[in-house]
Structure 1
Amino acid sequence: MQIEKIRGHQTDQLFKAVLELKDLEECYEFFDDLCTISEIQSLAQRFEVAHLLRLKKTYETIKKETGASTATISRVRRCFDYGNDTYDKMLGRLYPDEKPFQAK
């Protein structure tokens, strides 16, 4: 697992702060202070790529809809195949009526 590569005091502090956010507005404010617009957009794009992969969209469709490169799409796909299953877990919480991702 790659989790151990990022684990540490600073990361714990950051993640604990995220868990303390009370609502969407507070989340926007926190991330606006913490990240550049580009960083936030990049994270949001990856999450949307994950959602579209979960919906079985093609790379070409995902590229058109999100503007993500094929390298980004491939990276997110690898997370589905070899990661911690958290994209699928979080998308399942946001969209409980959708089917979970299943690798081919």
Structure 2
Amino acid sequence: MQKNNSENAEMLYQAILSLSSPEECRAFFQDLCTVAELRAMAQRLEVAVLLDSGMIYNDILERTGASSATISRVNRALQYGADGYKTVLPRLK
């Protein structure tokens, strides 16, 4: 029987939480994701950091190369999302 997406997501979250160092995390994500997927996730996080610092869309677009759709999506997540960015961003400072 195939696991449903929710069970697979929970397994992924548990796998991430089991990592104990930046090196383990880097190795896991390199195995799990394509280079493009890693770049996209890293770019979204950078956009979140810049939005959180008060930078405007045009400056973020110029600095990161992110599309306006990506910037808008990240901003929407910051404003109305599950607070994942809001949890992580202070921990990066």
Same fold flag (TM > 0.5): yes
In the alignment, the residues of structure 2 paired with residue 24 and residue 80 of structure 1 have an alpha-carbon distance, to the nearest angstrom, of 25
Which residue of 1 is the match for residue 30 of structure 2?
Answer: 32
In the alignment, the residues of structure 2 paired with residue 28 and residue 86 of structure 1 have an alpha-carbon distance, to the nearest angstrom, of 20
Structure 1: runs of 5+ lacking an equivalent: 1-6, 96-104
Which residue of 2 is the match for residue 91 of structure 1?
Answer: 89
Which residue of 2 is the match for residue 98 of structure 1?
Answer: none
Structure 2: runs of 5+ lacking an equivalent: none
**TM-score (normalizing by structure 2):** 0.91
Which residue of 1 is the match for residue 80 of structure 2?
Answer: 82
**Structure with the larger helix share:** 2
**TM-score (normalizing by structure 1):** 0.82
Superposed structure 1 runs of 4+ greater than 4 Å apart: none
Q: Percent identity?
A: 47
RMSD: 1.4
**Shift in Å, 1:63:** 0.6
1:42-81 matches, cutoff 5 A: 42-81=40-79
**Shift in Å, 1:94:** 1.4
Comparing 63-72 with 80-89, greater Cα deviation is found at 80-89
